[in-house]
Amino acid sequence: METQLLKPFRRYEGNPILKREDIPYPCNTVFNAAAVKFKGTYILLLRVEDLSGISHLTLARSDDGYHFEVESKPWIVPAKTGPFEIYERYGVEDPRITPIDGKFYITYTAFGPYGPRVGIGVTEDFEHFERIALITEVDNKDAVLFPEKINGQYVMIDRPGGFGGARGDIWMQFSPDLIHWGRAQVLLAPEPGWASAKLGISTPPVKTEEGWLVLYHGVRTTGAGRLYRIGAMLLELNQPQKIIDFTHHFIFGPEEFYERTGDVPNVVFPCGAIPEEDGTLKMYYGAADTYIALAEAKIDDLIAACRLSRREIRPRKKNY
């Protein structure tokens, strides 16, 4: 078997690409960034944790996707007034960006006294941001939108539950207007092995001829704490609630010092992925809740990795 099907991603040699020293104001850490291309510019929407432990979102821009300049002040901060305030009081976290019909919709975790829930907002220029709605109850996070309506409906993948040691499954919901969501159904649940504790969606779906390609994270509880690693799944184009196949092995996990050591060790956590014209996928991920790093893979290799059977990835016993 070719190695790139088991480990298709290659780390950028300049990792980590962003650390707290790169943020032009005092903070504790930077991690879990959404990613998108806008008018030829690479944009990251960074989760930055301030010195009080509250997270906000700050923009960074790049001409090449590797070297980013961070803006001088936060862009999205917890609401101070209005109906969003109580639910964002403890932070806005883990954004994802999805372009739909010329607008850029941002899903994020609103964290407040009653727990985490999903918020959604929109921008057209990455200067002005408008909140639309809080679209789930607690406890819920890790939400991504599909980049187009499917059968006349907006589609979202989210992850209710999974807190306090409880199991977390990946779910899917549908909406006519991005505000009212329903027809919820389970998409993928943990299994014994590398992702036995809980799952969560990582990056917005990428449309391919073979189906929707989506990265997700899986968590395994170990004697040294929780271990976060990455898998991929392929969904039917017109019925995304149907899984064509998914990786029965993790395809990316903590190996380097910046992934192993930090505020939360042994974590790789992508929130953004940008497909390039040459068939490469740039994956931007939080490392140990302390850094932003980058890894790249061929989209065809990721699809092929999804199609590997369990039998193909398990070592075979030798016959002597």
Q: Domain-by-domain residue ranges, the chain?
A: 18-308
pLDDT in tens, 72-83: 999 999 999 999
Q: What is the mean pLDDT of residues 221-250?
A: 96
Kindly report the pTM of this predicted structure: 0.96
Q: What is the pLDDT confidence band of residue 5, given thresholds at 50, 70 and 90?
A: confident
Tens-digit pLDDT profile for residues 13-53: 999 999 999 999 999 999 999 999 999 999 999 999 999 99
Answer yes or no: is pLDDT of 319 > 50.
Answer: no
- The string of pLDDT tens digits covering residues 165-180 is 888 999 999 999 999 9
Superfamily of domain 18-308: Glycosyl hydrolase domain; family 43 (2.115.10.20)
Q: Which long-range contacts (CB under 8 A, 24 or more apart) does 66-71 make?
A: 66/12, 66/14, 66/17, 66/294, 67/17, 68/17, 68/18, 68/22, 68/42, 68/44, 70/18, 70/22, 70/23, 70/24, 70/46, 71/24
Question: Given the DSSP bridges, would you call strands 243-246 and 182-188 parallel, antiparallel or unpaired?
Answer: unpaired
Half-sphere exposure of 42 (CA within 13 A, CB side): 22
Checking if the pLDDT of 293 tops 50, the result is yes
